[in-house]
């Protein structure tokens, strides 16, 4: 049977149109379907930044909380987000380097998730532009969860309770990892901690909230001629993020004058970024030892001493780093007291939800964190 050329052209055109239609269906933007809620920032912090394509809802936050504590995200169901970012340790893990699947160790210290919503980039080297994209990294890292994004989505699709939760949060249809990332990010945006003794002193007007030693430490901290710490760990008259969201080389990890980790340079390939790492916020720093991107400093006193010695010399060390050996003993003690006064209060609904096995590192946060002392009134309200 002879088929006309025009008929073949029509068939091909229909196939192309069908393909385009299916492609559009598959690439449809993922967006929460529930009513947006607002996340109230505590004293000392600005409004929580919210991306336009992922407004938080009660459903996505609850789903993200479950996913955060569930080791289902890892290849062998042993590692959850909370394994390395546990409320037991200020949403870090208290180790120099975290252990992932097969007890493999990473090469950088686990940063806290506290107030990560205020960072303009994620990871020590800033390679992820958002919390949503950051959630993809550990899953695919062979030293962490050692899984694939597609594999996680398939495991979740096979779980009827997860299917129901994803449908409530994002509507009917297959589960994608984009949904996973958006849910986890929405939950992480509720892990906000402020209203520390420092905040009550500086922003709340309570002059008794800080000890005299901590007050002295604060003055040294922000004095350009003394500590000059606030040049990177920013404080202004309304809010204190304690980070400039920039990258600096302090000489951490330098051995024999050579960098052991290239840091931001691995992302930008800009020579000026060699050995530079993101300025971490100092909020809750007393809870998150050890310190620096390589976890090499065990105590806050060691951190202060490191800065007093101007870090470690290398060709790319930040120009703001200079010796502080002129600081008195009282000023050095005061800096530690000030840093300890940055421990804030914690929302009550950020621990593991009932019925979730959190992986190799079981949660004991109610006991460790003394919640009667640090919980704050924290509510999600529908946005006007």
Same domain, 48 and 113: yes
Same domain, yes or no, for 155 and 209?
Answer: no
- Model confidence at 25: pLDDT above 60: no
Least confident of 17-31, 83-97, 232-246: 17-31
Q: Is residue 19 a part of any domain in this protein?
A: no
Instruction: Identify whether 12 is part of a domain.
Output: no
Q: What is the 3-state secondary structure (H, E, C) of 204-218?
A: CCCCCCCCHHHHHHH
Non-local (6+) Cβ contacts of 302 within 8 A are: 291
pLDDT 10s digits, 299-314: 999 999 999 999 999 9
What's residue 4's pLDDT?
57
Are 233 and 323 within one domain? yes
pLDDT(369) > 50: no
Chain segment 260-284, per-residue pLDDT in tens? 999 999 999 999 999 999 999 999 9
Residue 15 lies in a domain: no
Q: What is the pLDDT of residue 318?
A: 96
> Do 185 and 204 fall into the same domain?
no
Are residue 44 and residue 177 in the same domain, yes or no? Answer: yes
Is 340 known to be catalytic? no
Q: Is 330 helix (H, G, I), strand (E, B) or coil?
A: helix
Mean pLDDT computed over every residue of the chain = 90
Residues 150 and 234 occupy one common structural domain: no
Question: 105: number of CA atoms within 13 Å, CB side?
Answer: 9
Q: Tell me the mean pLDDT in the region 326-333.
A: 99
* Residue 55 domain flag: yes
Pair (237, 320) in one structural domain: yes
- Domain span at residue 57 reads 37-192+347-382
Residue 20 lies in a domain: no
Instruction: Indicate if 216 and 320 belong to the same structural domain.
Output: yes
List the catalytic residue out of 59, 99, 132, 144.
144
Q: Specify the pTM.
A: 0.88
pLDDT at 14: 53
Q: Which comes out higher in pLDDT, residue 357 or 177?
A: 177
The enclosing domain of 227 has a CATH number of: 1.10.760.10
Strands (E), the chain: 37-39, 247-248, 277-278, 380-382
Are 163 and 239 in the same domain?
no
Are 233 and 105 in a shared domain? no
Angstrom CA distances, 176 to 31, 82, 153, stand at 12, 21, 6
Check pLDDT > 70 for residue 28. Answer: no
For residue 7, tell me if it sits in a domain.
Answer: no
Residues 266 and 334 placed together within one structural domain of the fold: yes
- Does 356 have pLDDT greater than 50? yes
Number of domains in the chain: 2
8 belongs to a structural domain: no
Q: What percent of the chain has pLDDT over 90?
A: 83
Separation between Cα atoms, residue 37 and residue 78, nearest integer Å: 32
Whether residue 31 lies inside any domain: the answer is: no
Question: Is the Cβ–Cβ distance between 119 and 188 less than 8 Å?
Answer: no
- The reply to whether 317 and 223 lie within a common domain is yes
Residue 371's pLDDT band (cuts 50, 70, 90) = very low
Q: Are 252 and 311 in contact (CB under 8 A)?
A: yes
CA gap 190, 333 in Å, rounded: 33
Burial class (CB in 10 A: 0-12, 13-18, 19+), 271: exposed
């Amino acid at each position: 049977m002879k088929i006309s050329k025009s008929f073949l052209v029509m068939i091909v055109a229909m196939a192309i149109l069908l393909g385009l239609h299916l492609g559009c269906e598959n690439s449809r933007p993922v967006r929460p379907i529930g009513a947006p809620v607002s996340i109230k920032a505590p004293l000392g912090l600005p409004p929580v930044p919210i991306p336009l394509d992922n407004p938080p809802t009660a459903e996505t936050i609850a789903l993200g909380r479950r996913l955060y504590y569930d080791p289902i995200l890892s290849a062998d169901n042993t590692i959850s987000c909370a394994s390395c970012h546990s409320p037991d340790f200020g949403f870090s893990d208290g180790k120099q380097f975290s252990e992932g699947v097969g007890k493999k160790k990473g090469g950088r210290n686990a940063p806290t998730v506290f107030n990560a919503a205020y960072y303009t980039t994620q990871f020590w080297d800033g390679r992820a532009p958002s919390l949503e994209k950051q959630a993809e990294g550990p899953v695919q890292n062979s030293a962490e969860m050692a899984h694939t994004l597609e594999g996680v989505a398939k495991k979740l699709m096979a779980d009827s309770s997860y299917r129901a939760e994803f449908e409530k949060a994002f509507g009917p249809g297959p589960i994608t990892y984009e949904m996973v990332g958006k849910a986890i990010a929405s939950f992480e945006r509720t892990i906000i901690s402020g209203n520390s003794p420092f905040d009550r002193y500086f922003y709340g007007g309570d002059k008794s909230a800080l000890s005299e030693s901590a007050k002295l430490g604060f003055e040294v901290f922000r004095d350009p001629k003394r500590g000059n710490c606030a040049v990177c760990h920013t404080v202004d008259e309304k809010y204190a993020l304690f980070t400039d969201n920039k990258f600096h080389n302090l000489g951490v990890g330098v051995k024999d004058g050579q960098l052991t980790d290239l840091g931001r340079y691995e992302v930008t390939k800009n020579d000026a970024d060699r050995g530079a790492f993101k300025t971490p916020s100092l909020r809750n720093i007393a809870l998150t030892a050890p310190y620096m991107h390589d976890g090499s400093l065990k105590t806050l006193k060691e951190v202060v001493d490191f800065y007093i010695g101007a870090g470690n010399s290398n060709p790319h060390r930040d120009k703001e780093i200079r010796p502080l050996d002129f600081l008195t003993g009282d000023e050095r003690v005061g800096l530690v007291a000030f840093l300890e006064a940055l421990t804030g209060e914690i929302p009550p609904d950020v621990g593991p939800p009932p019925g979730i096995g959190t992986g190799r590192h079981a949660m004991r946060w109610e006991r460790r964190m003394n919640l009667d002392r640090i919980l704050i009134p924290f509510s999600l309200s529908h946005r006007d």
